[in-house]
Chain A
Amino acid sequence: MSDVADRVKKIVVEHLGVEPDKVVDNANFIDDLGADSLDTVELVMAFEEEFGVEIPDDAAETIVTVGDAVRFLEKNKKS
């Protein structure tokens, strides 16, 4: 697992209080990990802070799985 994937996983586990082994690449935040829509907004805020990146609303809407987040952040991260 990449460094980005590890950091994303840590944030998701902490924020949603889910078991680490459920946070897999194709896990959907809402359908598989029990997030509500406000959780997804908070996750995006947490990713922004962790990776020093701004995630525009239209990009945020495309981040629905753990893998989506990892791929977006690998491409756009600053830190």
Chain B
Amino acid sequence: MFELSGKTALVTGATGGLGQAIARTLHAQGASIAISGTRAEVLQRLAEELGERVHCLPCDLSKPEEVQALVPAAEAALGSLDILVNNAGVTRDRLFLRMKDDDWQSVLDINLTAGFRLARAALKGMMKRRVGRIISITSVIGTTGNAGQGNYAASKAGLAAMSKSLAAEVGSRGITVNCVAPGFIVSPMTDALNDAQKERVLTSIPAGRFGAGGDVAACVAFLASDEASYVTGQTLHVNGGMAMI
């Protein structure tokens, strides 16, 4: 099940914890992968660890010309592109009254607009070959909202709505477009919480634990697989029951 041998994938934000978990899982399922992120040395280390079938494509998604070059570079490295994982994302948390235009715009540019441009670029080859998977990593926050994250929440909700519209357009061409929405995932950010804070958060998670990168990556592997060909325009929530949507 969920075998990805012979398939090719581009994962953005593969220098972060979640991106690395996704890259590792797709690779373990047999896919050839292109990993992208801003820190070339982190990509290189991951590539060395994984061995064959890995290409490093450093890219700064805040720069439109680099965004534009990324999918062609991935297609050149991989031969073609079957699976696009829009994972890269940033936060610039501020209370609304303190949020600068730049806090808003930079988060929208990287989280939403880059995702749009990459999907548009990847679609051409996918349409021709009548096969494709576009998977965007969103967040429970895109559905529930969160104080201090108006920009981030808007970007993630935007990705979800964009994906539904695109799914409607290209469903007849063998291309599925979905989102995976993580809840509280173990990261440097959750590590920084003290015990009392952790306890408080955990009381709101029926599963009784924070999520791991692998919990999210497994869902990405499913949506990328042939078995998920009838799943499109959906958001798969991976949050331990923290929000039931």
In angstroms, Cα B169 to Cα A38, docked, is 7
Chain B binding site: helix, strand, loop or mixed by DSSP?
A: helix
**Tally of B interface residues using CB under 8 Å:** 7
Q: Does A42 contact B (CB under 8 A)?
A: yes
> Which residues of B have CB within 8 Å of A42?
127-128
Q: Does B197 contact A (CB under 8 A)?
A: no
> Which residues of A have CB within 8 Å of B170?
38
Q: Does A53 contact B (CB under 8 A)?
A: no
CB-nearest residue of chain B relative to A45?
A: B124
In angstroms, Cα B127 to Cα A38, docked, is 10
Extra contacts besides A38-B169, A42-B127, A42-B128 (6): CB < 8 Å: A38-B170, A38-B172, A38-B173, A45-B124, A45-B127, A45-B128
Per-residue 0/1 for B122-139: is the Cβ within 8 Å of any A Cβ (1 yes, 0 no)? 001001100000000000
> Which residues of A have CB within 8 Å of B127?
42, 45
Distance in Å from the Cβ of B120 to the closest Cβ of chain A?
Answer: 12
In angstroms, Cα B128 to Cα A45, docked, is 9
In angstroms, Cα B127 to Cα A43, docked, is 11
> Which residues of A have CB within 8 Å of B169?
38
